[in-house]
Amino acid sequence: MTGDYAVTASGLTRRFGALTAVDHVDLAISRATIHGFLGPNGSGKSTTIRMLCGLLSPTEGEATVLGHRIPGESEAIKRKIGYMTQRFSLYEDLTVRENLEFMADIYSLPRKHARQRIDELLEKYELSDRQRQWAGTLSGGQKQRLALAAVTVHEPELLFLDEPTSAVDPQSRREFWETLFELCEKGTTILVSTHYMDEAERCHRLAILDRGRVAADGAPQGLERRIDASIVEMETDDPRAARLLLADLPGVLSVTQLGVRLRVLLDRSIADPLAEVQARLFGRGLRFEARLTHANLEDVFVAATRGRYLKARA
Ligand SMILES: Nc1ncnc2c1ncn2[C@@H]1O[C@H](COP(=O)(O)OP(=O)(O)OP(=O)(O)O)[C@@H](O)[C@H]1O
């Protein structure tokens, strides 16, 4: 079975003292797909990735990465993967080219092959004319491109990208994702963590992590169809008052304001969510219009985490 999958995990768990950072996570990531990890700060995304890279030992559970077991075969895994962190892990006082040469050296690429590969990557990531510039002086988008070039010098079969787009602008994010799809089409498997819903939506499959557990797992469109909540969208002349009235209605998971519109998520157990919302607002001096609507990925995230994070922000 592991032949079909680049990564499998069963009951993968990591504790730090009393804290369970990753709590019995199961995974099956097909080869040549993009698999997303979506989750709030501290939900265990980085810790899971670090275990799968062989950098951190699990407290419990099992996993295979490209057919190798972790943690026992971590050394074999490290040669076949690329791992890019939020901070890009570049050597700021080396030049762009030296950063790539250093990585080629780590992976023992023969000198001639390394030179060709580095030229190819500099061209591909539009860094040829900056190859003698210190990496520390590059812009955020350029650093990101160099970091991706650096972790793909040895043409890894599997890429772990831990929030790779958190420090770059929307245009760079878009271009970065186009590159990920190109790599994926050529056979690379990618596991990417993100806080952005639009990025999560682009993954072939997605795991939503919450407090170390997989709270939902599947193709983004499937998750939207199978959501465990009802959604009422409404327009009102006093969104703030309506939001306050709805926030404590039993069964309401979250109320999000979008200009004059409100998006209300209610527990699936409520038989007639539209009637509940209307009953709460009637006779309160508000003008409003409400309707049931389809879920988007943010709704799935809120339902999977039972509104914990949006409610906390409201
Ligand atoms: N080495 C460590 N020692 C102690 N606690 C740790 C260690 N590494 C992570 N943790 C804790 O484990 C939990 C999960 O952290 P992790 O970095 O995996 O979350 P995350 O989902 O990647 O968060 P973010 O989105 O902020 O990067 C956090 O509470 C964190 O403080």
179 domain-assigned: yes
Of ligand 1's listed atoms, the one at least distance from the Cα of 195 is 25
| Range 6-24 burial, b when 16+ CB lie within 10 A, else e | bbbbeebbbeeeeebbbbe
**CA dist., res. 48 & res. 230, Å (int):** 31
Residue 7 falls inside a structural domain = no
Binding site membership of 181 for ligand 1 (Cβ less than 6 Å): no
Same domain, residue pair 195 and 263: no
Q: Verify that 125 and 168 share a domain, yes or no.
A: yes
Gap between the Cα atoms of 155 and 161, Å rounded:
15
What's the structural domain count of the chain? 2
Report H helices in 125-262: 140-151, 170-185, 197-202, 220-225, 239-247
Report the atom number in ligand 1 closest to the C-alpha of 44: 18
User: Same domain for 215 and 245?
Assistant: no
Q: Are 265 and 148 part of one and the same domain?
A: no
Please identify, among 224, 259, 285, the residue that sits at the C-terminal boundary of a domain. 224
Question: So what's the pLDDT on residue 313?
Answer: 43
Sequence length of the chain is 314
Q: Are 153 and 80 in contact (CB under 8 A)?
A: no
> Does 172 sit in the ligand 1 pocket, CB within 6 Å?
no
105 CA to middle of ligand 1, Å?
Answer: 31
Listed in order, strand segments (DSSP E) in the chain are: 5-16, 19-30, 34-38, 60-65, 68-70, 81-84, 158-162, 189-194, 205-210, 213-218, 229-236, 252-258, 261-267, 288-293
| Omega before residue 71 within 30° of 0, cis | yes
- Does the beta carbon of 43 sit less than 6 angstroms from any atom of ligand 1? yes
| Ligand 1 atom closest to residue 50's alpha carbon, by position in its atom list | 18
ipTM strictly over 0.95? Answer: yes
Same domain membership, residue 286 and residue 252 = yes
pTM: 0.90
Q: Is 88 in the same domain as 182?
A: yes
In a domain, 287, yes or no: yes
Residue 163 Ramachandran class (φ > 0 left, ψ -120 to 50 alpha, else beta) = left
- Count the neighbouring beta carbons within 10 Å of the beta carbon of residue 93: 9
Cα distances (Å, whole numbers) of residue 204 to 32, 52, 82, 91, 92: 10, 19, 20, 33, 34
Are residues 249 and 208 part of one domain? no
Residues 274, 288 within the same domain: yes
* Domain membership flag for residue 4: no
Substitution site in 37, 46, 191, 199 for ligand 1 pocket (most atoms within 8 Å of beta carbon):
46
Does the C-beta of 194 come closer than 6 Å to ligand 1?
Answer: no
Query: Which residues 6+ apart lie within 8 Å of 266 measured at CB?
Result: 229, 230, 231, 232, 249, 251, 252, 253, 273, 276, 277
Element at 276 (helix H, strand E): helix 273-281
pLDDT of amino acid 223? 94
Q: What is the structure's pLDDT at 3?
A: 64
The answer to whether 215 touches 183, Cβ cutoff 8 Å, is no
Tell me the residue range of the domain where 266 lies. 227-313
Please say which residue of 180, 203, 224 terminates a domain: 224
Ligand 1 centroid distance, CA of 36 (Å): 17
Do 162 and 276 lie in one domain? The reply is no
- Dump the DSSP string for 62-94: EEEETTEEETTTHHHHHHHEEEE-TTTT--TTS
Confirm if 103 and 144 have CB atoms less than 8 A apart. no
Say whether both 234 and 214 belong to one domain: no
Residue 218: strand pairing partners? 206
Do 193 and 264 fall into the same domain?
no
**Domain-embedded: residue 115:** yes
Considering the domain boundaries, does residue 3 fall inside one?
no
Per-residue pLDDT of the chain (314 residues; tens, 9 = 90+): 456 899 999 999 999 999 999 999 999 999 999 999 999 889 999 999 999 999 999 999 999 999 999 988 988 898 899 999 877 788 899 999 999 999 999 999 999 999 999 999 999 999 999 999 999 999 989 999 999 999 999 999 999 999 998 878 888 899 999 999 999 999 999 999 998 999 999 999 999 999 999 999 999 999 999 998 999 999 999 999 999 999 999 999 999 988 889 999 999 999 999 999 999 999 999 999 999 999 999 999 988 887 666 544 44
In this structure, the answer to whether residues 299 and 173 fall within a common structural domain is no
**Confidence (pLDDT) at 167:** 77
Which CATH number does the domain housing residue 262 bear? 3.30.70.100
Domain boundary among 158, 189, 224: 224
